[in-house]
Amino acid sequence: GIYLDYQASTPVDPRVKAIMFEVMDRDFANPSSESHSAGWQAGKRVEDARATIAEAIKCDPDEIIFTSGATEANNIGVLGAALGAPEGRRRILIGATEHKAVLEAALAAERFGYTVELLPVEGSGVIDPAELKNRLDESVAVVSVMLVNNEIGTIQPLEELVELSAAAGAFVHTDATQAPTAIDVDVRELGVDAASFSSHKIYGPKGVGALYLSATSPWRPRPLMFGGGQEQGLRPGTLPTHLCAGFAEAFRLIAEEGSGERERVEHLRNSFVRCLEENVPIFKLTGTCSHRHPGNLHARFIGIVGDDLLLRLQPHIFASTGSACTSGHLSVSHVLKAIGLSDVEAGECIRFSIGRQTTESDLARASDIIAGAIDSLGDQVRQSGR
């Protein structure tokens, strides 16, 4: 099959795998063990990984908190940060197109007396800074707006949003999970207090991620878990040395090869769009190709149910309707609703995402297979008289 679901997860790069195996073989001691050199050596592996990630996103190593993934990082960066806010700051503002891991983490704070407000987006997925400005004052605890959207690929211009939020004294978090494969990420330049990352979206292993937490944030998030005190008490538990090392190598590779890779992927994506526009009359790109993740292609197939088409594409093409975490439920994507699609239109959508191993011939074949599947679905619709 042709894998076109890189925004759901990426294959582990062989160079990452090699380092992980080496660490699992040699550095299995507890990285927090201070009584022997095997522990020191494992601990050094973790600290080297931390330094590599810090270098990739341009911060200090002690501003990196390892977590189990972006879900956990988002929970600390939104819910934890809200719980740490001074009295009087009890409002949370988040983008309307946030991933569930931000949305649900924010909603969980309602149990503790906080209120959540969604910032509306334009058709492109971009937030108008005026919408934020209107809502900002000294009662806001946390503002969280994602850097790159996982469904429609929007790259959010954060600068003004961050400036306004910081001026109001809020804690500013961004979900940057999808960002490293789309743009160079410099957390200092972004000016946020916290940012979430995930290894399995950048050709690293699943089960590890990180929260960047600025040394100059207005306050520290409250921990959501309690235990041995690792990761500055914010994420206690024995660190998975091999996952940390693999995650760091994945980040190092992106820092080294990312810009060339993004150019290649964007070129492939744009020609795939042209190819589908020529061969599939009912194809309609969602939004435009500018300000968008280079590997993201989100589109409607007018008159067809996206899930039916995905099924028809098995076992030849692996894509999805958007967010792996919400597919399974037959609910309409809140992201597509937020950009103004009707329920029917949202149901016609599919996300293809292109990455490191995608080739030109993969996409030429994929385009033929999609055109064929749509023809056969069309026949089926006609025969059933619908």
C-beta of 277: minimal distance to ligand PMP in Å? 27
Nearer to ligand PMP, 150 or 367 (CB): 150
Q: Tell me the residue type at 23.
A: V
d(CA 172, CA 190): 10
Q: Which residue is nearest to ligand PMP (CB)?
A: 69
**Binding of ligand PMP by 150 (CB under 6 A):** yes
What residues between 260 and 319 interact with ligand PMP by CB under 6 A? none
What residues between 209 and 228 interact with ligand PMP by CB under 6 A? 209
Q: Tell me the residue type at 153.
A: G
**Binding of ligand PMP by 178 (CB under 6 A):** yes
Stretch that binds ligand PMP, among 47-55, 170-178, 240-248, 347-355 (CB under 6 A): 170-178
C-beta of 221: minimal distance to ligand PMP in Å? 17
CB 94, CB 103: distance < 8 Å: yes
**Binding of ligand PMP by 234 (CB under 6 A):** no
d(CA 146, CA 118): 13
Q: Which of 244, 275, 289, 325 is catalytic?
A: 325
**Binding of ligand PMP by 69 (CB under 6 A):** yes
**Binding of ligand PMP by 51 (CB under 6 A):** no
Nearer to ligand PMP, 70 or 85 (CB): 70
Binding mask 82-121 for ligand PMP (x = CB under 6 A): -----------------x-x--------------------
**Binding of ligand PMP by 325 (CB under 6 A):** yes
Among residues 4, 20, 31, 71, the one that binds ligand PMP under rule CB under 6 A = 71
C-beta of 172: minimal distance to ligand PMP in Å? 16
What does R_g of the chain's alpha carbons equal in angstroms? 22
**Binding of ligand PMP by 156 (CB under 6 A):** no
CB 7, CB 197: distance < 8 Å: no
C-beta of 196: minimal distance to ligand PMP in Å? 7
Three-class SS of residue 165? Answer: helix
Q: What is the DSSP letter of 342?
A: -
Q: Tell me the residue type at 298.
A: H
d(CA 153, CA 306): 18
Site of tokens 């980040």: 251
**Binding of ligand PMP by 75 (CB under 6 A):** no
325 is an active site residue: yes
Residues 6 or more apart whose CB falls under 8 angstroms from that of 45 comprise: 23, 27, 31, 241, 244, 245
Q: Tell me the residue type at 6.
A: Y
Q: Which residues pair with 173 in a beta bridge?
A: 144, 194
Pairing between strand 115-119 and 140-144? unpaired
Nearer to ligand PMP, 99 or 312 (CB): 99
C-beta of 259: minimal distance to ligand PMP in Å? 21
Our measurement of the distance from residue 9's CA atom to the centroid of its chain's CA atoms, rounded to an integer in Å, reads 10
**Binding of ligand PMP by 348 (CB under 6 A):** no
Q: How far apart are the first and last CA of the chain?
A: 31
**Binding of ligand PMP by 175 (CB under 6 A):** yes
Q: Which residues pair with 257 in a beta bridge?
A: none
d(CA 28, CA 41): 9
**Binding of ligand PMP by 202 (CB under 6 A):** no
**Binding of ligand PMP by 198 (CB under 6 A):** yes
Pairing between strand 296-301 and 317-318? unpaired
Cite the active site residues: 325
| Contacting residues toward ligand PMP, per CB under 6 A | 69-71, 74, 99, 101, 146, 150, 175, 177-178, 198, 209, 324-325
